[in-house]
Amino acid sequence: MENFTYSYPAGKTASKKVLVGVVASGDLEVLLEPATAGATSVHINTSVTGKGKTWGEVLNRIFITGALPAAKIDINDCGATPGVVRLRIEQAFEELNEPDAKGGRYE
Amino acid sequence: MNRTATHYRDSITELSARQRARALLDAGSMRELADPFCHLSSPWLGLQGITPQADDGVVVAKGSFDGQPTVVLAIEGGYQGGSMGEVGGAKIAGALELAAEDNRNGIPIQAIILFETGGVRLQEANLGLAAIAEIHSAIVDLRRYQPVIGISAGPVGCYGGMSIAAGLCSYLIMTREARLGLNGPAVIEQEAGIDEFDSRDKPFIWSLTGGEQRFQSGLADAYVADDIEEVRMAMRTLRARGTPPSHRSDLFENYLGRLAMIDTGAPATAEMVRHLYAIGLES
């Protein structure tokens, strides 16, 4: 197991909690929670070792502009490729714009 | 059913555990307990190089079904084969125990369990087994007050100690995709030899352990299509029957009598099993 934590600039506080994905082979789960405006933290928990540089590059592309809402993000990864990682994170932020069912909605 | 209805069938097997729970409960009534943001994940898997999942693969959802208070316990087959570890097992056992307590206090809450599990999580060994034993006793406690309905939709099916939990339920609903068995095909082949059980022969496996066979043998109470509305209708029909006068597991002596009649010299066939289980189990 390897753990990484990254911090990025961000916009206003994210509007709700979101969960996407499942910890299955080649997939990952992304837990997104609202954080104080201006900063996003990303914590990664992965079963694949030695890929720290790749994680940094994938996350930089998504977060470096600071345009996304501020969130505390936890990622539990089971060997997802960089493409899948990016899709799942983007899916989590898209879910922020979905209308809310009663009591919050995440699949 | 007309063509359009077939086309728009709403699959249950393609849904995640959380989506299944939401789809089975009355619209808008679901509230998740011990949700993933509580971060109740396995403390053991990370030590063995396996990524923990935030909900440990178990969803506890409270809500209503046809207006009656209901708790749905849904196992996520996509995570570690739906295996039961310490945390996920405790979530199910704890919810069932609280439901029984509620019934003793006059709250008529019922439980629905979605079995999508290979059984105990081997990486958590005795802790998983202990949790499964707690689930068994909690089902037996709760089923005195309310029917406990089990559902196995597939594709994982229901195996190991959790197949015993399914057997303890008041009623069991299965789809064609689901399988129910104590040992999985690969385990039987390894122990008894390929002549006895070929784990690569899928039609053979489904003919003996699939949902249709289990229903025809009286080990499941409803056989439904892979469709949310059909599952809900079966839940409604079975719930209307109330708690059965005797549970299937109370009839164990009759089942043992049936098993004693089997000629173990020849491989079992689906027809033979159906015929055997059809003999006088109603007493």
Report pLDDT digits (tens) over A73-106: 999 999 999 999 999 999 999 999 887 654 445 6
Q: What is the pTM of this model?
A: 0.93
Residue B283: per-residue pLDDT: 43
Closest residue in A to B31 (Cα) is A103
Residue A28 lies in a domain: yes
The verdict on residue A36 lying in a domain is yes
Average pLDDT over residues B246-258: 91
At A43, which helix (H) or strand (E)?
strand A39-46
Question: According to the model, what pLDDT value does residue B7 have?
Answer: 62
The pLDDT > 70 percentage for chain B reads: 95
Round the CA-based radius of gyration of chain B to a whole number and report it.
19
Q: Span B129-154, mean pLDDT?
A: 97
Mean pLDDT of chain B: 93
pLDDT at residue number A102:
44
- pLDDT classification of B195: cutoffs 50, 70, 90: confident
Does residue A101 fall inside a structural domain? no
The answer to whether the complex's ipTM is over 0.85 is yes
Phi-psi region at A18: left, alpha or beta (left = phi > 0; alpha = psi -120 to 50): beta
Residue A95 included in any domain? no
Task: Find the CB nearest A19 among B36, B49, B79.
Answer: B36
Q: Let me know if residue A102 belongs to a domain.
A: no
Predicted pLDDT of residue A103: 42
Tell me if B54 and A1 make a contact (CB, 8 A cut-off). no
SS3 content of chain A, % helix, strand, coil (to 5): 25, 35, 40
Q: Check if B19 contacts A (Cβ < 8 Å).
A: yes
- A80 assigned to some structural domain: yes
d(CA A20, CA A12): 21
Q: Is residue A43 part of a domain?
A: yes
**How would CATH label the architecture of B9-244?**
Alpha-Beta Complex (3.90)
Give yes or no for residue B52 having a pLDDT over 70.
yes
Nearest chain B residue (CA) to A103: B31
Q: Is B155 on the interface with A (CB under 8 A)?
A: no
Give A13 or B276, the one with higher predicted confidence: A13
Domain limits at A70?
Answer: 2-90
Q: How many contiguous H segments (helices) and E segments (strands) does chain A have?
A: 2, 5
Residue numbers in B near A29 (CB within 8 A): 36, 53-54
pLDDT of B36 > 70? The answer is yes
Chain B contact set for A31 (CB, 8 A): 36-37, 54
Total domains in the fold of chain A: 1
- The C-alpha atoms of residue B115 and residue B132 are separated, in whole angstroms, by 12
Q: What is the mean pLDDT of the segment spanning B1-17?
A: 76
Residue A14 in contact with residue A106, Cβ under 8 Å? no
- B-chain residues within 8 Å CB-CB of A106? 18, 36
Task: Retrieve residue B282's tokens.
Answer: 């109603």
Q: How confident is the model at residue B263 (pLDDT cuts 50, 70, 90)?
A: confident
